Amino acid sequence: MDRIDAMKVFVTAVEEGSLAGAARKLKRSPTAISRALSLLEQHVGVELLHRTTRSLKLSEAGRRYVEACRRVLVDLEEADMIAGSERSSPRGTLTISAPPILGEEVLRPILDSFLRENANVSVRFLMLDRFVNLVDEGVDVALRIGNLADSTHMSTRIGGDVRRVVVAAPRYLDSRAAINEPSDLSRHDLIAFSNFGLESWSFAPAKDTSVPRTVHFTPRYLVNSVRAAAASAAEGMGVTRLYSYHVAEYVRDGRLRVVLPQAEPPALPVHILTPQGRAAVPKVRAFIDFAVPRLRSELGRIATESGSLE
């Protein structure tokens, strides 16, 4: 058994979600895919995948093993490129993660342009409302909003700091008690989005204090979608908190109004992250060089527009 090839089959099956999907991706028969997985399980001595006719589910051992396989395959790809003197020729699959709305509206057009100019590169684009583990999940480049924890990852700040704004429809605000301080939110219907706090929101300290203000609440409406939170707020269902670029269009056309701008916490930076050593890989270096100036331009425009949201 070629263990490296079997690892590629295993990782592909997990990413595609089925043996048939892996067979299509790798241009092999489903029987060959199944045989490679069975041999790999025999080698490691545990079941890696629970198989049904329609889907695959990782076992607990499989979940740990797939992360290790991704690391091995990434390291091998990097070693092959360096040994083959491919530094000046981007090629292979580039895995990128980004928050969904920022990914769809800002990064995707940049990726389209990059692919047009790099015929030997393909992209696996993950738009996720969570921080990914770059190494364990095999991600080459991540676009991330927020302050960074200390890590070995290489980071490039691309500016365009993002506000966290509280908004509601004018008709809702006109029919309810005024919102002048964060504590006033306790008397309102709140639409909570999972990434911004399900039970509490924090705000900047009051004047002459250094302690952030925290408002605890039970949401009237709990959603796990940015678009749902913004749309329901625009329909007058309550008050929500999102990033400024999530609601900019709603605010500009009058469907939402920003409240408590004076209490907003500091804006959050935007970075591009790459695992240590990956920036030397041609496809990664080429993408970073291509994307960073374009992201800075676009995020700078968004930050300027967001700064005027009131």
- Domains of the chain as residue ranges with CATH: 3-83 (1.10.10.10), 92-156+270-308 (3.40.190.10), 164-263 (3.40.190.290)
pLDDT-based confidence at residue 160 (cuts at 50, 70, 90): low
Q: Which residue has the higher pLDDT, 160 or 230?
A: 230
- For residue 78, the one-letter residue type is E
Nearest-angstrom CA–CA distance, 23 and 139: 23
Cα separations (Å) of 104 from 58, 140, 252, 287? 29, 18, 20, 17
Question: Which residues, at least 6 apart from 203, have a Cβ–Cβ distance to it below 8 Å?
Answer: 182, 212, 213, 214, 215, 260, 263, 264, 265
pLDDT-based confidence at residue 308 (cuts at 50, 70, 90): low
Residue 287: pLDDT over 70: yes
pLDDT tens for 94-122 read: 999 999 999 999 999 999 999 999 999 99
Beta-bridged to residue 223, according to DSSP, are: 193
pLDDT-based confidence at residue 82 (cuts at 50, 70, 90): low
Residue 87: pLDDT over 60: no
Nearest-angstrom CA–CA distance, 72 and 76: 6
Q: Would the pTM count as exceeding 0.75?
A: no
State both tokens at 297. 């331009």
DSSP structural state of residue 53: S
Nearest-angstrom CA–CA distance, 206 and 258: 19
pLDDT tens for 17-58 read: 888 888 998 989 989 999 999 999 999 999 999 887 667 889
- For residue 149, the one-letter residue type is A
- pLDDT of 197 reads 87
> 173 and 180 in contact (C-beta within 8 Å)?
no
Nearest-angstrom CA–CA distance, 132 and 136: 8
pLDDT tens for 211-230 read: 999 999 999 999 989 999 99
- For residue 173, the one-letter residue type is L
- pLDDT of 152 reads 74
Residue 292: pLDDT over 90: yes
pLDDT-based confidence at residue 188 (cuts at 50, 70, 90): very high
φ, ψ (nearest 5 deg) of residue 156: -130, 115
- pLDDT of 237 reads 97
> 264 and 216 in contact (C-beta within 8 Å)?
no
φ, ψ (nearest 5 deg) of residue 22: -65, -40
> 273 and 295 in contact (C-beta within 8 Å)?
no
